[in-house]
Structure 1
Amino acid sequence: MAETERRRRRPPISCVLCRRRKIRCNRESPCSNCVRSKNASCIYENHFLQPQQATELHSSISPIAEVAVPSLTSKSSPRAASTTTASTAATYQSSQDIEFLKNKIKQLEERLSQSNETSQSPIQTPGSNIEAISSRIGGTFYVHHEDPLAGQPQNISRSVTHKSRMFGQSHWITGMALVRDILNLIEPHVHEDTCKILTLMVKSKSLARTIKSQRTPRWPSLLKTDLPSKDIADELVDRYLQTTETIYRIIHIPSFKKDYEAHWTSQAEPNTAFLVQLKLVLAIGATTYDDKFTLRSSAMQWVYEAQTWISEPGFKHRLNLQFLQNNILLLIAREFVDVGPDLVWISAGTLVRIAVYMGLHKDPTRLPKVSTFTAEMRRRLWNTILEISLQLSLISGGPPFISVDMFNTEPPGNFDDEQLALEDPPPKPESYFTQTSIAIILRKIFPARLSIVKFLNNHGSSGTFKETLQLDAELRASYKAVLRTLQGYKSTTGSQPSKFAMDVVSLLMNRYCLSLHIPFFAPAMDEAAYAFSRKVVVETSLKIWRGIFPSPLTPVSQSYPDTVLPSQHYLARLVVCASGFFRISPLQASVLIASELMGQLREEETFGPGLVRQDLLSIVSEAKTWAWKCIEAGETSIKGYFLASLHAAQIEGLMQGLEKEELSRFVVKEGEEAEEKCFPLLEEMLSRINPEGSTGAPEQTTPSQMVEDWDLTMSDALFDFGETELVNWGFDENYQGLSFN
């Protein structure tokens, strides 16, 4: 019997890594799986390459080569895909031509690998609109650009993917492309032995992780009855009532004060739900207690205790107005006190569903009859839930998932809290300022702001410039009517809104306007058609900054002069001590102003010397002072101060006319000095947490972990449950499937 012909082993055409994982390879260089896994190289073994496989492999590599190294395809790359005749195929059978093809493919792979590793210019995925911005300092950000449309600029960022999360246009991180110049400027020096930027950043991050671990309360944290002394508690409650409660109506102030006084005098066991509410009020009030947030540790403990109580299963019996109040307060406290502020938007969705489950989306007139007190509290809480949900969608870059047709609840009535204790009280005229007037004003401009957030963050939004101008006009028209109402309050002899409330309303409106025009800010640097957006972004950023800091910040001056009333300190303290919306707003404004100044300096090189705006230049310097104050108040990430220092150095170097290499080294030097300045402050912060020094060595940080807190609303984890981390987009090299690391 003739011996069965032995089958020849099929030559491998997948890359080594895909073949080892036993997953499908698209045979590009690098392949899609290696791109997701962030591998520096993608290796193919072509020892048994046959003509057909050589043609197929080279065809898949050619488009990438045309993007990354176009000179290769025009001069030295063999056009294997066009070899379709039998004679050409026969030629490829010769060992000489096969070796030639193998060498060329190897050269292409090496050149592409070097290009991906060393070039900091955008990496455009073939046939895609996703751009990767990568550096050792900033990590990798995938920017999703505008799909090609007639009349639309191609460099508009529609969203950004970073690690396991995706952010819409309203998230500040979508402006990452604006700091690309600085990253490109310092990146070549990061690899030098003499450069200390990476080393200092890793050390600072390790120290920051140790500080956070020492600060973080135990989980779960059972509710305790202990409180600060009565005089401190009184002041914290007062701070809450003068700030947060003036914007977001949550509690009924007379009822709260009555229960508060009873808590201190009664010998009975305290009401658990009220104790949770009180601790959350104290935690929020602590963010404006002083300039250094000295009660941070206590505030975090109070938030953890409240979170533990609310997280208990089987809370059906708690579905009442006080439970809703506590949930709202918890969201605000988590955002302000920096307990997982980046994930608060997710919890806001749960809160909306609880409110709908309780029927708050239906006006009380359409439900069984209730008292005026109950009806108005339901309207207030639904109004506040809408406001907070929309605001969190704005800062998180997520879709709002709410619409004006999902509810028919009327806005709150124009009542002072004392009126609600009466039977069927009439609301006061609209021209009369009450404790609910600011909430009513925000509700009037809610539809215009909701349209903007949907326009920016909803999936599939085209985001044309024409629509941007239309939404801008609608927002301005709504705000114009609001301003007339606010001006009317000032002309009366009755109650008037506080300066804090007025400043916050202005900040909110400017933030929505700013977010609307930011997508066209970068294109406006090159295309005059979008000059209006550039002007709006610059002037609105200036308004945001000066609305928070009316007078220039200087390192040696007092934060708050004696001539300023204490109530006027609150917003400035909030942007230093709190996290979330109030922290991100000045950060975003300062980055945009720095980008505008660099744009002006570049234009000078083209059109000749011009005037750099001094009002903008002063804010670049003030941004460093503000970022430093944030660290003094307990912020563990030094990257805000580091970035502000880089911006100031680059602008100074450009104004001095430094050449590129000289400018690069100047910026690197300033960055190193900024890091060296911050490190002792972090060490002092750690020593205050553990005066006896029994902290052990700082937690070790790898360069890949170092980029986690570039987005200053992202804390490392909501609660420390151990070593659990968020799901990654990529693949694990040692597991044939999705990675959960």
Structure 2
Amino acid sequence: MPTPVSQGDSQVIMSDIGASVPDSGANAASTAAPRKRRRPALSCEQCRKRKIKCDRNYPCTQCLQSKTAHCSYSPDSAGAIQHLKKGPSIYQDPIQINAGIPNRSRNAPSTSSSSHLPSDSTSPQVPLSDGTQTSWHSPGSEHLHDKDSAKSHERALLDRIQKLEQKLATANSLNPSKQEHELEDEQSLEDGKSSLDGQDVSVSFFHTLKGNSFFGSRNELHGTYEQKGRLRGTVSKTRFFGQSHWMYSFGTFDRISCMKVNPKNNTPEFAETMKTTDLNELLQRCKSMARAAKAGPHNKFLMNPNYRDAVPLRPVCDKLMMLYFRTHESTLRILHIPTFWKEYQQYWENPAAASSTFIIKMLLAMSIGCCFYQDDDQDWHAQSLQWIFAGQTWLASPFEKGRMHISGLQIHCLVINARLANAVAGDLVWISIGSLLRTAFQMGFHRDPKYLPRMLPLHAELRRRLWATVLELNIQGALDSGMPTLLHLEDFDTEAPANLDDSDLDETMTVLPEAKPRDVYTQTSLQIMLLESFPTRIKVVSHSNNFHSDPSYEEVLALGSTLTKALREHNTFINSVNAASLYSSANPQTQSPIPYVPRMFRNILDLCIRRFLLALHRPFAARAQTDLRYYFSRKVCLDCAMTMLQYPTSDPGDPSIEPGKQDDFTRLKTVSGGFQKGLLVHAAMVIFSELLSQIEEESTFTEQSRAAREPLKQALRGIVDLSALRIMHAENNIKGHLFISVVLAQVEAMELGVPADNLVIAAARKSAEICMALLSKRIPITATDDEYARHVENGSAADGVGLQGASAPQDIGFDTMMQDWTMDSQYFNLPDSWLLSGWEDNQPWGLQV
């Protein structure tokens, strides 16, 4: 009869597998009382916070009834619930396993030794058996196995863990292909996998362990369970775009019937249908012309270091500078207007005595003004690119200490603004903004001037205004690129600028004037209003691009409410200011003149905040199709998209618009880059998704419901028209125009209840013909793939192609405007094979995982 074995000798501490394995002598000699552990909380984190009873389900009943977006458990809570419901599992806590494995003793106990693993009364325990089916028992179970059987399974378990450690170490050191090692590890685990009380523990454990071992421990039990393992971004060629980037929303277009094969009715691929038409040929011709425009030599835009030779005549400079100050210096304050005009006058009195920094500031400001220049006497767009390159060259020159002054930071801000306005690598400004932010930090702009050595009030206010501008450029660039701001509110203490006009400050003052009341409109009011929402918007960017977990829906609603309140207050304030301005203009005898807020400034202020509201609610709006708790987000996104597309462009206070000319805001949307391009894509995605949802949700197609959707379809048609207008002026990428045309055809086909292929083909062909006609007027030549590849490789003009064939300098500027100076324009970043590969691979233009 075998010798009875104590319960502690026969059971193994599986929940603390990472601990070292002492021998039995050490365990017996230990007389210290075991440390009392705190009982793990069993309720979910949301019920614990609300202090209510939780039924410990996922999601729990309380979270479902309260419409809480997420129900999450802490790791200890998840482990305790697993133990209560199904018994303990050695695979339930990847963090604990991952932390313990590197220090695990790898010497299996000898068969002749009587040593065994120590027991712990506070840890879940499990006896080991010889069978493939292992049953979990409580510490008081009477079904005990003999000691030899327990030891053999202890050794088997340690051997399997040791094999996994060796495989992981080899994978980390040699870095072989992912697929090959996953197959090997899966096979290794399949050979020795166990079924623990009906729970299959095999490959899934290895994937969890492998995901945690390389970069260290991470808590995968927090956040949303369904999001585990997702990239939370979009990979396109060599670039990564976070969740706030418009490309991350391309999953919306997966529902377009012409983009993938329908396995139910075996519908032929759209790519095969395209081969039967001349659409491919039209697309290739458009691409050849766009390639020729990009193949221009870069040295065409380089300037002689003597920047004074590039300054136009004074009448042109006066007009361009007036255009700059009329359309800018509202939300982004860079220049002190009276000081600049004083230096401007001194320059024309003695050009040779002007400093190079002032000349560069003037050239950059004029390059922004060129975007709004609409006279027919001469085109200055090509010249403006030279001015931007001049400013960029000045920033890139060595001896950075010589640029560490206020004028240097102003030039840096102007270069970024000019690149955005003229679409010169506008999709990459987030990289340059990082340099701008660090330069401002190095110069101490993050500390309020009151903590710095004594300086003139004018210089102190300029520092506060420039710091607010740097913050705004940084957060806007981060949202556009889907990147983090790399900045926290605790990193700076610079106060907001004083509510003063530029005329209230000059270099002779030694005491800062008293700021005007909050309800008085000044040249700094819009920047102050925008800065007040900065803490909320930086949280939005942080949540949108957080790849660890999603925010709770309650937090999303709170942030959205704050932004909506700010938008409402701004609108009320501007309405009151403009009403007072109109009244003062009508009664000049009794009222002093009150400035009027131009429509463009008003639209930009609203746009700079509303686009954050769209990015905040967009992920939850997509879930509203299956979960009505998020319907509010769906409504908010649609309202934001329609509002941003339908801003009023002029009002009674704006300057009169000459016949045949565009107002300032329409001109900005037509020729500029930056977030104006992303705005079109974002809005189109939201509106198209809403149209599809409405069509799928209605039971019968009626004329009334179709008429109700007409405003949404009209908004998409407006995006198509705006895309054509951009191509006519300077845009070289036709993919936006083509794709929205296809989307409209898909919607029309769904409303008519007919197959979409024929309508989509016809719409795509019509779009390609329109774009080809628009491009051919600006770009009379084409370039092959080889010619363009040589240009990209050496940075010079392709042989006999590109802009060398252009006869006039202004054609150079038109041909290269708005193509963003990258190999793939970010208006619609489709693969090089255009539409075919995106539709054939069921991955429409951007890998979203």
* TM-score normalised according to structure 1 size: 0.70
> What are the superposed Cα offsets for residues 589-624 of structure 1, whole Å, 9 maximum, x if unpaired?
123112211221122357988344222121121111
Secondary structure at the counterpart of residue 541 of structure 1? helix
Mark the CA change 1:186 to 1:459 in structure 2 (over 3 Å): closer, same or farther. closer
Structure 1 position 322 matched with structure 2 position 407: yes
Matches of 2:716 and 2:733, distance apart in 1: 19
Among residues 487, 500, 515, which one is paired with 1:415 in the alignment? 500
Structure 1 position 600 matched with structure 2 position 752: no
Matches of 2:295 and 2:456, distance apart in 1: 48
Mark the CA change 1:306 to 1:355 in structure 2 (over 3 Å): closer, same or farther. same
* Structure 2 unaligned regions, length at least 5: 1-173, 195-205, 209-219, 262-268, 585-593, 793-817, 826-849
The alpha carbon displacement at 1:316 in A equals 0.2
Instruction: Judge conservation of contact 2:649–2:663 (CA < 8 Å) in 1.
Output: no
Residue matched to 2:720: 624
Residue matched to 1:543: 643
Residue matched to 1:613: 709
Structure 1 position 676 matched with structure 2 position 769: yes
Residue matched to 1:273: 357
Among residues 312, 323, 330, which one is paired with 1:239 in the alignment? 323
Instruction: Judge conservation of contact 2:423–2:820 (CA < 8 Å) in 1.
Output: no
Structure 1 position 587 matched with structure 2 position 675: no
The alpha carbon displacement at 1:349 in A equals 1.1
Secondary structure at the counterpart of residue 362 of structure 1? coil
Instruction: Judge conservation of contact 1:186–1:667 (CA < 8 Å) in 2.
Output: no
Mark the CA change 1:216 to 1:654 in structure 2 (over 3 Å): closer, same or farther. farther
Structure 1 position 655 matched with structure 2 position 761: no
Residue matched to 1:433: 521
Mark the CA change 1:685 to 1:281 in structure 2 (over 3 Å): closer, same or farther. same
Residue matched to 1:164: 238
Structure 1 position 331 matched with structure 2 position 416: yes
Q: CA RMSD in A?
A: 3.7
> What are the superposed Cα offsets for residues 451-477 of structure 1, whole Å, 9 maximum, x if unpaired?
111111134242332221121122223
Shifted more, 475-484 versus 421-430: the winner is 475-484
The alpha carbon displacement at 1:27 in A equals 5.0
Residue matched to 1:305: 390
Matches of 1:566 and 1:259, distance apart in 2: 35
Aligned-partner residue type, residue 245 of structure 2:
H
Residue matched to 1:507: 607
Matches of 2:786 and 2:773, distance apart in 1: 17
Aligned-partner residue type, residue 289 of structure 2:
L
Among residues 702, 716, 722, which one is paired with 2:822 in the alignment? 716
Matches of 2:386 and 2:699, distance apart in 1: 54
> What are the superposed Cα offsets for residues 540-575 of structure 1, whole Å, 9 maximum, x if unpaired?
111111116689xxxxxxxx9987899981111111
* Structure 1 unaligned regions, length at least 5: 1-21, 33-55, 64-79, 85-125, 129-145, 552-559, 688-692, 706-711, 720-741
Residue matched to 2:476: 391
Among residues 24, 30, 37, which one is paired with 2:176 in the alignment? 24
Mark the CA change 1:615 to 1:608 in structure 2 (over 3 Å): closer, same or farther. closer
Task: List aligned pairs for 1:171-320, cutoff 5 A.
Answer: 171-182=245-256, 184-185=258-259, 188-192=269-273, 193-214=275-296, 216-218=298-300, 221-223=303-305, 224=307, 225-290=309-374, 294-320=379-405
Matches of 1:657 and 1:696, distance apart in 2: 42
Secondary structure at the counterpart of residue 175 of structure 1? helix
Matches of 1:356 and 1:276, distance apart in 2: 23
The alpha carbon displacement at 1:255 in A equals 1.4
Instruction: Judge conservation of contact 1:250–1:381 (CA < 8 Å) in 2.
Output: yes
Matches of 1:632 and 1:657, distance apart in 2: 35
* TM-score normalised according to structure 2 size: 0.62
Task: List aligned pairs for 1:4-23, cutoff 5 A.
Answer: none
Shifted more, 194-203 versus 377-386: the winner is 194-203
Count how many residue pairs are aligned between Structure 1 and Structure 2. 574
Structure 1 position 475 matched with structure 2 position 544: no
> What are the superposed Cα offsets for residues 328-351 of structure 1, whole Å, 9 maximum, x if unpaired?
000111122122112110111111
The alpha carbon displacement at 1:154 in A equals 9.1
> What are the superposed Cα offsets for residues 314-334 of structure 1, whole Å, 9 maximum, x if unpaired?
120221100000000001111
% identity of equivalent residues: 29
The alpha carbon displacement at 1:385 in A equals 0.5
The alpha carbon displacement at 1:25 in A equals 4.0
Secondary structure at the counterpart of residue 161 of structure 1? strand
Matches of 1:150 and 1:243, distance apart in 2: 45
> What are the superposed Cα offsets for residues 575-596 of structure 1, whole Å, 9 maximum, x if unpaired?
1100011222133212311221
Mark the CA change 1:388 to 1:531 in structure 2 (over 3 Å): closer, same or farther. same
Residue matched to 2:453: 368
Matches of 1:360 and 1:24, distance apart in 2: 47
Shifted more, 287-296 versus 373-382: the winner is 287-296
The alpha carbon displacement at 1:279 in A equals 1.1
Residue matched to 1:638: 734
Matches of 2:489 and 2:599, distance apart in 1: 30
Instruction: Judge conservation of contact 1:549–1:572 (CA < 8 Å) in 2.
Output: yes
Structure 1 position 666 matched with structure 2 position 666: no
Residue matched to 2:75: none
Secondary structure at the counterpart of residue 310 of structure 2? coil
Mark the CA change 1:237 to 1:208 in structure 2 (over 3 Å): closer, same or farther. same
Structure 1 position 466 matched with structure 2 position 551: no
Matches of 1:215 and 1:574, distance apart in 2: 27
Among residues 575, 580, 585, which one is paired with 2:669 in the alignment? 575
The alpha carbon displacement at 1:183 in A equals 7.5
The alpha carbon displacement at 1:306 in A equals 1.0
> What are the superposed Cα offsets for residues 349-369 of structure 1, whole Å, 9 maximum, x if unpaired?
111111111111111111111
Residue matched to 1:522: 622
The alpha carbon displacement at 1:214 in A equals 2.4
The alpha carbon displacement at 1:396 in A equals 1.0
The alpha carbon displacement at 1:439 in A equals 0.7
The alpha carbon displacement at 1:269 in A equals 4.9
Residue matched to 1:734: none
Secondary structure at the counterpart of residue 352 of structure 2? coil
Matches of 2:721 and 2:351, distance apart in 1: 48
Residue matched to 1:352: 437
Instruction: Judge conservation of contact 1:152–1:464 (CA < 8 Å) in 2.
Output: no
Task: List aligned pairs for 1:16-55, cutoff 5 A.
Answer: 24-26=176-178
Shifted more, 393-402 versus 455-464: the winner is 455-464
The alpha carbon displacement at 1:420 in A equals 0.7
Mark the CA change 1:514 to 1:294 in structure 2 (over 3 Å): closer, same or farther. farther
Mark the CA change 1:601 to 1:324 in structure 2 (over 3 Å): closer, same or farther. same
Instruction: Judge conservation of contact 1:472–1:513 (CA < 8 Å) in 2.
Output: yes
Aligned-partner residue type, residue 550 of structure 2:
S
Aligned-partner residue type, residue 640 of structure 2:
T
The alpha carbon displacement at 1:505 in A equals 1.1
Aligned-partner residue type, residue 463 of structure 1:
P
Shifted more, 496-505 versus 406-415: the winner is 496-505
Instruction: Judge conservation of contact 2:600–2:649 (CA < 8 Å) in 1.
Output: no
The alpha carbon displacement at 1:213 in A equals 2.4
The alpha carbon displacement at 1:665 in A equals 2.6
> What are the superposed Cα offsets for residues 419-453 of structure 1, whole Å, 9 maximum, x if unpaired?
11152232222222111111111111111111111
Instruction: Judge conservation of contact 1:373–1:420 (CA < 8 Å) in 2.
Output: yes
Aligned-partner residue type, residue 647 of structure 2:
G
Matches of 1:395 and 1:503, distance apart in 2: 18
Mark the CA change 1:317 to 1:24 in structure 2 (over 3 Å): closer, same or farther. closer
